Amino acid sequence: MLRKLKLRLRALFRRDDIGDELTLHLEQLTGELIAGGLSPREARLAASRQFGNLTRIHEQSRELFSFGLVEDLLRDLQYGWRSIRRNPSVAVAAVLSMGLAIGVNCRRPVFVWRRKTACAAVHN
């Protein structure tokens, strides 16, 4: 478990290691194919076909060894902060309207409805 946490923390701060390692594996496979008798061009193409899409593998590896939820949260917070700084009047209006809506909905009773025989109140 600690090893997995260590790998995730390492991947969080070292993003280019995975790409370098994938390139190394592709070069090794290409070298093996050249040693097997293929021309360098054919070996590169065959290695690429065998290995698969490097970008997709890189993204899958990054998802596996990173904190996706934390990274998404940080990215959303950065976007929100930039939006607030760009247009603060909209942020103030949103905060005031949310405060007003929460204040109105927090008073007791929340809502009351009447029927022919009884009056019912729903409380928090």
Q: Is residue 116 situated within a structural domain?
A: no
Residue 23 resides in a domain: yes
Residue 105 in any domain: the answer is: no
Secondary structure (DSSP) of 1-68: -HHHHHHHHHHHH--SHHHHHHHHHHHHHHHHHHHTT--HHHHHHHHHHHH--HHHHHHHHHHHTS-H
Whether the pTM exceeds 0.75: the reply is: no
How many domains, the chain? 1
User: Residue 7 is part of which domain span?
Assistant: 2-86
Whether 117 is covered by a domain: the verdict is: no
Q: Which residue has the higher pLDDT, 41 or 8?
A: 41
Answer whether residue 111 is part of any domain. no
The answer to whether residue 101 is domain-embedded is no
Convert the pLDDT of each residue in 22-57 to its tens digit.
888 888 889 998 998 888 899 888 988 888 888 888
In a domain, 95, yes or no: no
Q: Is residue 41 part of a domain?
A: yes
